[in-house]
Structure 1
Amino acid sequence: MVEQARADSSATSTVKAAALQGEQRRAGRWVPGEDARVRSAWTRGRVLAALAVLTAGLLAFHRAVPNSIGRLGSLLEAFLPWLGLVVVVLLGVALARRSATALVALLMPVAVWMYLFGGLLLPGAKPGAHDLLVVQHNVSDENTDPAGTARALADAKPDLIALEELVPPALLVYEKTLASDYPHHTVQGTVGLWSKHPLTDTRLLDIKPQGIVEAWSRGLRTVVHTPHGEIAAYVAHLPSVRVRASGLASSWRDESAGLLGEAVAADRLKTVILLGDLNSTVDDRGLAPLASRMNVAERGFAFSFPAAFPLARIDQVMARSATVAHIRTLPATGSDHLPVAARITLG
């Protein structure tokens, strides 16, 4: 009798559970374990499809994200390529759910991402006869091996080496180590440029935001006399940004970028090269005063910061009346940044 009662109770529970699942399905609710069998491939994954469309919208219309609240627009743009990882995660879930709707929707963010960043994945063209190789590196004022850092940069055999966060006594080490291969150099404040070609008309570049009251010299402009003509070279280190609970603190960086953009726009020479730690990516609207006036890298991601796990390229090489054909990172040094090397095609 006891066994019969248990059997009847189990059967009753099974019937009730089946009835409840049936009601949930009729109400349009998802039932764990049953969804894949009951719904079709076109009715499953509607939430995933919506997330795919949202991701595509953020990629395509990132400029529409306002900066008025915590500079959310700039924060998104600083890590914009990483939205591709969101697409990968959504793809994995869509395959697990066997959702045709989500898979079709994912074509949108994939297409937008490829349009924005796919070209950076392509190999660069072969070096030409009128190319310059330049290296940009924030060497860090806490670098304990300036001699090793200098040798590592010189091993790339660039025409120009731009350095930031130059402080004594490390500056003397850089000057001594690079002297034989780079007989021409200039240092203004904490930034410097070493060159295989003569430099003239060097001057300090004032890009100091008004809110900074202490001594602050982080920009220079000089003329490089290359075999292919005169080039105005700028080296700059824009103010740092901070991610806080209130959002991105970048007002000083943006102000400094505006001053630098005005200086580049007013330069009398046709060809201009800008090298520096700009503390942002080229997608960040905070660098629009520069990126809108100059060419940025056509090939290569070259994420340079932080060196231990690079998430963004904030060390930039830009050019006017020249092409930044390819950019890449060099091996790590004693800095918290990775060096970047860029090939610039003149003409």
Structure 2
Amino acid sequence: MSRWRAARRAPAVRAEGTGRRGSLWSRGRVLAALAVLTAALLLFHRAVPNSVGRLGSLLESFLPWLGLVTVVLLALSLLRRSATASITVLLPVVAWTAHFGGLLRPGAEPGACGLLVVQHNVGDDNTDPASTARALADTDPDLIALEELVAPALRDYEEVLAPDFPYHAVRGTVGIWSKHPLTGTRQVDIRPEGITGSWNRGLRTVVRTPHGDLAAYVAHLPSVRLGVTGLASARRDESAGLLGAAVAAEDLDRVLLLGDLNGTVDDRGLSPLTSRLDVPDSGFAFSFPAGFPLARIDQIMAASATVGPIRTLPATGSDHLPVAARVMLG
């Protein structure tokens, strides 16, 4: 009887390769599911609806950061020693590389026909606009586009930039400085419905470059806000539609758009522009916020021209970083 009781108390021998934590292939299923979800969001982000809280635009604003999620999933799958998760996490790796891998390449700088352009939201609360202007001028660009130009700081930008950029135009709070003559400057109405008072944030001018005329647009689209109800971007989207219509009606073939568009090139809210204009072929150049950049909302786009690698410039007194790229007028 005592032997029988001892046998009952003895633990059963588990089969090799099994146990409470599962086998190499059975554990890590949650991580594998998260990897599949991450890959799906990268590949099919347009399928995420914008009808509720503009979740689609919110996802697309930070889409590159799903690469960091992928790295975390890979690390956890290795710690978990899960073959299933480790293999499945290759799906978001491939998806991210397919979408953003090209931006990691150095990219080819345009040749002699290229114009170096700088785009910067200088900040309406910038306490040292003169230093900001000097920093931008020191990069020796052909064109400088600025937003949030307010009095009396506008006078500082004009005085500092005048020696190297004899041609400039300002409409409302946006402006452009050029080494080449400007002509046909006019305001572009991108005011969304419901905004009253003084609100001029768009201009169009023709730059007489040595390589032919170029229609240059400078714009500052309305800000977006992130709250408990999601992303508030309706006015930004409406303004982008108005700007897209203006670009579509442009008489010149070569078009350059410089501006703080308050959206990334993946954000469907900017599709009226990204569907008509080409974006930089290399570089992430996250420009906002300056202290810890999370997204590039300062854009350089072109039609019938090629935008080379885009990069950020050192911080100024603004909450945005300046961005620069060379544009080939093919």
Question: So what's the TM-score if we normalise by structure 2?
Answer: 0.94
1:42-88: CA deviations, max 9, x gaps? 22211111110000000000000000010000000000000001100
The residue aligned with 2:139 is: 156
Distance 2:84 2:308 in 1: 39
1:284 is matched with: 267
Contact 2:118–2:324, Cα closer than 8 Å, also in 1:
yes
Cα pair 2:32 2:89 within 8 Å, conserved: yes
Among candidates 70, 82, 89, match of residue 72 of structure 2: 89
- Following superposition, the deviation at residue 164 of structure 1 comes to 0.2
Contact 2:287/2:323, CA 8 A, preserved across alignment? yes
Match of 2:176 in 1: 193
Which is richer in helix? 1
Q: Work out the number of aligned pairs and report it.
A: 321
The 8 Å contact of residues 110 and 327 in structure 2, kept in 1 or not, is answered as no
Q: Which amino acid letter does the alignment assign opposite residue 62 of structure 1?
A: H
**Which aligned pairs between 1:1-347 and structure 2 lie closer than 5 A?**
31=20, 35=21, 39-347=22-330
Distance in 2 (alpha carbons) for counterparts of 1:159 and 1:41: 59
Distance in 2 of aligned mates of 1:283 and 1:244: 21
Tell me how far apart the structure 2 counterparts of residues 133 and 114 of structure 1 sit (CA, whole Å): 28
Q: Quick check: 1:270–1:320 contact (8 Å CA) kept in 2?
A: yes
CA distance in 1, matches of 2:85, 2:128: 51
Distance 1:252 1:126 in 2: 36
| Aligned AA (1:219) | G
Q: 2: CA distance between counterparts of 1:115 and 1:155?
A: 36
Structure 1 residue runs without a partner (length 5+): 1-11
The secondary structure found in structure 2 opposite 1:52 is helix
In structure 2, C-alpha distance between the alignment counterparts of 1:304 and 1:291, rounded to whole Å: 18
TM-score (normalised: structure 1): 0.90
- Please tell me whether the aligned partners of residues 180 and 207 of structure 2 are also in contact (alpha carbons under 8 angstroms): yes
Residues 269-317 of structure 1, C-alpha deviations (whole Å, 9 max, x = no match): 0000000000010000000000010000100000000000000000000
Aligned equivalents of 1:322 and 1:115: distance in 2?
Answer: 24
Contact in 1 for aligned 2:207/2:216 (Cα 8 Å): yes
CA RMSD of aligned residues (A): 1.6
Q: Deviations over 1:165-184 (max 9, x none)?
A: 00011000000000000000
2:329, 2:228 → 1: CA distance? 44
- How far the C-alpha of 1:126 sits from its partner, in A, is 3.6
Decide whether the 8 Å contact of 2:284 with 2:311 is kept in 1: yes
Q: Is the 8 A contact 1:143 1:334 kept in 2?
A: yes
Deviation at 1:211, TM superposition (A): 1.4
Mapped partners of 1:126, 1:135: distance in 2: 15
Contact 1:326 1:344 in 2 (8 A): no
Q: Percent identity between the aligned chains?
A: 71
Q: Which has the larger radius of gyration?
A: 1
Give the counterpart letter for 1:309 in structure 2: F
Shift of 1:103: 1.2
8 A Cα contact 2:109 2:326, kept in partner: no
Q: Distance in 2 between matches of 1:326 and 1:265?
A: 25
Deviation at 1:213, TM superposition (A): 1.5
Give distance in 2, aligned partners of 1:111 and 1:167: 46
Q: Distance in 2 between matches of 1:266 and 1:204?
A: 14
Larger CA deviation: 177-186 vs 44-53: 44-53
The Cα shift of 1:247 comes to: 0.5
After TM superposition, the structure 1 stretch with the greater mean CA deviation from structure 2, 39-48 or 218-227, is 39-48
